[in-house]
Structure 1
């Protein structure tokens, strides 16, 4: 596998790891399918070297052409004059054409050159195919990096607003703050994982297995779980708020904390222990062992299903409330209000993840990555924008605080002006009094008359 293909594998592994619906590929070892080709290639080279060592130690096999490794496959020992043919199907899975053959003659001078070459016989078109793919994944990495960075900044700002202003200290905003914090963890986990696993393209990701990379992947999986469960808590809280007239919100708040943080912690601990004792290979960033992967995937899928049911029920409750006689307006205004409410609830409930939640794993791979990773990276920004910065109460409070700050600044400025004016007036009056003080008049007159007296004498 060339350096270009290794970069493509690295980027593909990086993109697919971020999506929780990554496809399962059966393998004898828990490594990425693309890495399995590398393992197969290395094993074939090792076997060929073992055969060559055995032939060198066996004097009866010194005649003819010995076994040789040509960086692609092993050519076994042949007699002089023998023509050896190899099918493309028996060489590597990288070749597109499995019907071609490569030939090689054993001459007195040793093995002849290959004819035709691997590229010609097996349609080895890796260079033309992988370079655009590498560019695509590199550009897509920049997109989700920008998305998570934007979400991170906006979420931290939203938490600051909800925390600083005491008016926003309520159960609803406490739940929003925890949801925002789960999004922050998710964005931070992506940056940490990229920094640990993919900071150096020269690293061999197929055989990388360190404590730091396993910890980064475990933290990433925990942040994903916490994010989905806090989306579920938002749905549960909203349905409780709409369905029950009188409810003690503080009574249920600690249950929400237990669901949002307690369940993900329990699940990720079970996953870590299972991986450590049953499948402690690589950086734990694969999904080849199905029963271990379902420890994480099953709770996420269940939370999405429950949230979808809650979403439908909330829409039903909103329709009933909008159609009630006490609510004024025509059908068009009701429809607009319902459509607006639905659009606001989609990012809050994470309903865009439902598009591929129950479809086969290999269905729409590119669209799945775009929706779950591309759009998902901006989800935190959208949630912070809709439920904080575009919220009417937040905007009113910010305007009120801004007007109060302006008023205080103006009053402080006016006070300084009055003080300065008073001090200036006092100084002016003192100066005038000093100039017109009667104590200075006799001396002045004495100084004036003295010369006259002298002249008179």
Structure 2
């Protein structure tokens, strides 16, 4: 979930104090004008201007209160005696905030909580499946020495980046949620916002969650850049005639793990110096672009590489099957290749970047479900494409499986003296082990037959090659 549109309690207090200062300046200016009867005042949430006797005053709901409905209005009544209408039973000035509190109604809060809980379950399941499949894929590629090459090394780095991204998200969710104070904010009545005071905070208690947030942003960035490295590698294989992949491996590693560390550390330093509030998990003005701009640049560059790769792929398909070939089959082949490249290059990122970030509406909910689904399950999809559907991997697994079956078949045969003749007594197969049993049994019979005729003297011509002894 994009947390850039969420506000902490400290940020809310700061905005209220800022609005209060501005309101006091406006009140001083209005008092000098001397127009109206009910005096302007700050009630803790809204700066009320002068009111006219016997009229209802409507003021837009303040934009600086995050949970308010910013399209609604609040009301106050200026009584006939020239003062704001006062409610004796509540001992306070009457005001109608019902439109402003639209989003704070219990049924709306409950529906929003169910929506975010549903998103949390979905991406938790997705990242868990991705982590498991990537772990198995790394074990498979690492186990078979024939698969050790630069291409698969890059795949393994990409797998690790997906795994670390998943782990960092799980840790951030647990650590940050413990320090956010979300429950106390939800339980806070709207009226209490008027009496909020700035309390000194012990910043040392947020060190752990700050580290968790910085770690999450770093591994998130490395994941984007390893996807870029995959795109660069594939693009180089296609467009560079003599490309030495082993020569550029360390360069790719520097791009994938080193470059993100530079701008993430720069962001952490700027955040600590300028806006050192709580866990650093939320918006901090323009500072966020220190790490978001490089990520967007990686997504944009990867999209360009994707378009160029698809262009070359389409040209090759049409040139290869230009004459006497089914056009629909060519389109199906191109569509299948393009779909794989979309998942490999992470093209869905550019789609979600271009979509508007609005908080309300069914379109936004659909967008959030789709974005988090693809983000969380992308590791699983990549492992299937690069490992489980890879022909070389399948060949190595089949070869190992065949060897294991032969070994088990040999060990299961029954010993017969110094020979394993169990397969001869039961059945004959075309396996290598069964053939060896036949040879061993034949030798055993020949040696027995030779011991019976031991008294017969051998003739010299019987040792000649090609001689066949007669039984007569």
TM above 0.5: yes
- Residues 419 and 139 of structure 1, relative CA distance in 2, 3 Å threshold: farther
1:137 is matched with which residue: 98, 116, 123? 116
| Match of residue 317, structure 1, among 306, 312, 315 | 312
Q: Which whole-Å deviations, capped at 9, do the CAs of 1:234-266 have from their partners, x for residues lacking one?
A: 011001111223221101111111111111111
Structure 1 counterpart of 2:76: 101
DSSP 3-state at the match of 1:280: coil
Q: Deviations over 1:306-333 (max 9, x none)?
A: 1111101111111222223488953333
Between the aligned partners of 2:181 and 2:8, the Cα distance in structure 1 is: 16
Question: Could you report, residue by residue, the CA deviation over 1:260-313 in whole angstroms, capped at 9, with x for unpaired residues?
Answer: 1111111211111111222222211123321x2111111111111111111011
Flag structure 1 segments of 5+ consecutive residues without an equivalent.
1-14, 24-31, 48-69, 77-82, 423-457
CA distance in 2, matches of 1:217, 1:189: 8
Aligned residues: 366
Deviation at 1:150, TM superposition (A): 0.6
CA contact (8 A) 1:180 1:384 kept: yes
For the structure 1 residues 123 and 178, does the alpha-carbon distance in structure 2 shift closer, same or farther, using more than 3 Å as the test? Answer: closer
Q: How many Å separate the matches in 2 of 1:264 and 1:420?
A: 64
Partner of 1:288: 284
Q: Which of structures 1 and 2 has the larger relative contact order (alpha carbons within 8 angstroms, sep 6+)?
A: 1
| Cα 1:124/1:405, change in 2 over 3 Å | closer
1:268 and 2:261 correspond:
no
User: Please, which of 193, 210, 214 is the counterpart of residue 210 of structure 2?
Assistant: 214
Indicate the larger mover: 90-99 or 180-189: 90-99
1:98 and 1:122 in contact (8 A); partners too: no
Matches within 5 A, 1:262-411: 262-290=258-286, 292-325=287-320, 329-358=325-354, 361-362=357-358, 365-411=364-410
Q: State the Cα RMSD in Å.
A: 3.9
Q: Is the partner of 2:278 in helix, strand or coil?
A: coil
| TM-aligned CA deviation for residue 205 of structure 1 | 8.5
Match of 1:445 in 2: none
TM-score (norm 2): 0.67
**Which residue is 2:237 aligned to?**
241
Aligned to 1:259: 255
Q: Shift in Å at residue 106 of structure 1?
A: 6.8
In structure 1, the residue matched to 2:169 is 190
CA–CA distance in 2 between the matches of 1:118 and 1:213?
Answer: 36
The CA deviation at 1:172 is 0.7
